[in-house]
Amino acid sequence: MQKAPPGGERMLRVPYGHEELEFMVQPWFDVDVIESAAATPVGDLAVAARASLAAPLGSRRLRDLAADATRAAGSRRPRAVIAVTDLTRACPDDVLVPPLLDELNAGGIADRDITILVAVGLHRPTTDAEKTEKLGAAVTARVRVTDSNGRDPAMWADLGTIPPYDVPGLTQKLVKDADLVIATGIVEPHQYAGYSGGRKTVAIGCCGEPVITATHGMRFLEDPGVRLGRIDGNPFHETVREIARRAGLRFCINVVTDDRERVVAVTSGDPDAVLTDLVAKAAAIYTRPIAKQYDIVIAGVGAPKDVNLYQASRAATYLRFAPTPVVREGGSIILPAKLDEGAGEGAGEQRFLRALESAESPAAVVEAARRHFEGGEQRAVMVALTLQHCQIVVAASEAPEVVRLAKLRAAVDVEEALDIAYEHIGRPARASVLLVPRAIHTLPVVTRPVVA
């Protein structure tokens, strides 16, 4: 925990797109700054990734699994699918995928029989240029790269009903028909799954829309086990694990990054073993103790999550739904976010905006979701629940009209947002402010939940 210098005006910074915003803080704000713990970045990720693949956790080498698939295919050509994260995840797939391809080749699966599936879920499709940006020109020239399709039932395979809440198990036919399924992923705190990772890349990113509708609906959102940073006893996590297993996921390579998006750990192998290993490492970095709740929290996001309001709003809801809300009831969360794409261009993002825009109040958003729910609206529900607890002010966005439609306050910069928040909390003589530069990574945990 860092404390800003007391007395007088001072300058602070927060991530904004691929850059930073500098802003001034008035002397009546008592500011603390909390960041994830320091960790040593991986020196050469390509070397580290290949070393991990040579000594996987809980699994034989990928080349051995590929050789098994090749033998089992008999006279036909074996097929492999590598599910990768979409552009809203800062996973270095351009570095992780080439050694995966080499391992598959070593096991007898040729490039022509490998498909890379970009796990877009209900987000918008990726362009050819974005696929190249994500994976590198050498990869897109080497193997087939395509997006998953969560909207077209003709593209899905049925995996059966998934316990514990009878979720319809639907994945891409490409995945189900593959002889070997691999996934990349980034392990970081997640609102519903506890922590994200390679299993979620397949189970949610490559699923059919009914899976997202069911797993992100009110039955899961209101389950006390579905919590940020929680794995054990989390029915969302259990559902993701079972969908990925039935879809045939055999091998993952996942990373953990620090607050500057530098990779600090890379692990490959059995999906369960990889997640267990990296959750322990991620929790040690991201979970940070704080002594109190705050009047105002400034939640930094930065690229790639601040590309749209759907993704950037996670920072506010993570702070609200931490083990104890980081901002006090009636306080304010300031969200500096660029929002190049407004609310977001995918079906889920558009439903998110419509749910907030069309409802009379945050409470009405929640009630409407209990009557009827579609995938994407879960983000609206989480934002609405946060608004019932505190104010949200989005600062310096390129889409202030979208912010207002979503029932949030829009501010031209962080200074104006602080003025709005200060007015909202009643202009006390002193106001406590917490700056969390990477609020989607850093998980502040109140050790003594006493209202500031």
Tell me the pLDDT tens digit for each residue of 288-343: 999 999 999 999 999 999 999 999 999 999 999 998 999 999 999 999 999 999 99
Query: Nearest CA to 376 among 400, 406, 404, 399?
Result: 406
More confidently predicted of 448 and 147: 147
* pLDDT score of 123 more than 50: yes
Both 111 and 52 in a single domain? yes
Q: Which of 221, 249, 284 is the last residue of a domain?
A: 284
Same domain, 324 and 215: no
Look up the domain containing 205 and give its range: 45-284
Q: Which residues contact 183 (CB under 8 A, 6 or more apart)?
A: 82, 83, 84, 119, 198, 199, 201, 202, 244, 249, 251, 252, 253, 271
Selection from 109, 88, 91 nearest residue 100 by Cα: 109
Cα–Cα distances in angstroms (integers) from residue 207 to residues 45, 188, 330, in the given order: 29, 21, 38
Q: What's the CA gap between 262 and 268, in Å, rounded?
A: 18
Residue 80 has pLDDT above 80, yes or no: yes
Report the alpha-carbon distance of residue 356 to residue 335 in Å, rounded.
Answer: 17
51 and 14 both lie in a single domain? no
- The reply to whether 124 and 259 lie within a common domain is yes
* Alpha-carbon gap, residue 247 to 22, rounded angstroms: 46
CATH of the domain at 307: 3.90.226.30
Q: In terms of domains, do 246 and 335 share one?
A: no
The reply to whether 122 falls in a domain is yes
Q: Which segment of 101-110, 166-175, 218-227 scores lowest on mean pLDDT?
A: 218-227
Look over the chain and give the mean of its residue pLDDT values, rounded to a whole number: 94
Domain end marker among 229, 259, 284: 284
Say whether both 344 and 270 belong to one domain: no
Residue 40 lies in a domain: no
268 found inside a domain? yes
The pLDDT, as a whole number, for residue 452 is 47
The answer to whether residue 237 scores a pLDDT higher than 50 is yes
For 94-104, what is the mean pLDDT? 98
CB 432 within 8 A of CB 294: yes
Rounded to whole angstroms, what are the CA distances from 143 to 83, 93, 100? 13, 14, 12
In which band, very low, low, confident or very high, does the pLDDT at 209 lie, cut at 50, 70 and 90?
Answer: very high
pLDDT of residue 3: 62
Q: Quick one: 252 and 295 in the same domain?
A: no
Tell whether 109 is covered by a domain.
yes
275 and 340 co-located in one domain: no
Please say if the pLDDT value at position 450 is more than 70.
no
Tell me the mean pLDDT in the region 6-32: 89
Q: What is the pLDDT of residue 8?
A: 57
Do 381 and 403 lie in a common domain? yes
Would residue 39 count as lying in a domain? no
Which residue among 284, 310, 335 closes a domain? 284
- The structure tokens listed for 79 are 């097929």
Return the pLDDT at 5: 54
Instruction: Indicate whether 110 and 211 sit together in one domain.
Output: yes
- Rounded Cα–Cα distance for residues 205 and 149 (Å): 9
What integer pLDDT is reported at residue 449 of this predicted model? 52
**Whole-number pLDDT of residue 6:** 55
Domain presence at residue 451: no
* Domain assignment present for 218: yes
Look up tokens 């300031």; give the residue.
334
Are residues 68 and 12 both part of a single domain? no
At 272, give phi and psi (nearest 5°).
Answer: -65, -45
**Does residue 168 sit in the same domain as residue 246?**
yes
For residue 2, the model assigns a pLDDT of: 63
pTM listed for this prediction = 0.87
Q: How confident is the model at residue 260 (pLDDT cuts 50, 70, 90)?
A: confident
Query: What CATH number corresponds to the domain at position 240?
Result: 3.40.50.11440
DSSP annotation string for 319-363: HHTSSS-SEEEEEEEEEE---TTTT-SSHHHHHHHHHHHHSSSHH
**87 vs 396, which has greater pLDDT?**
396
Q: How many domains does the chain have?
A: 2
Judge whether residue 446 has pLDDT over 80: yes
Residue 240 has pLDDT above 50, yes or no: yes
pLDDT surpasses 60 at 149: yes
The angle at the Cα of 229, spanning 12 to 257, to the nearest 5 degrees, equals: 55
In a domain, 452, yes or no: no
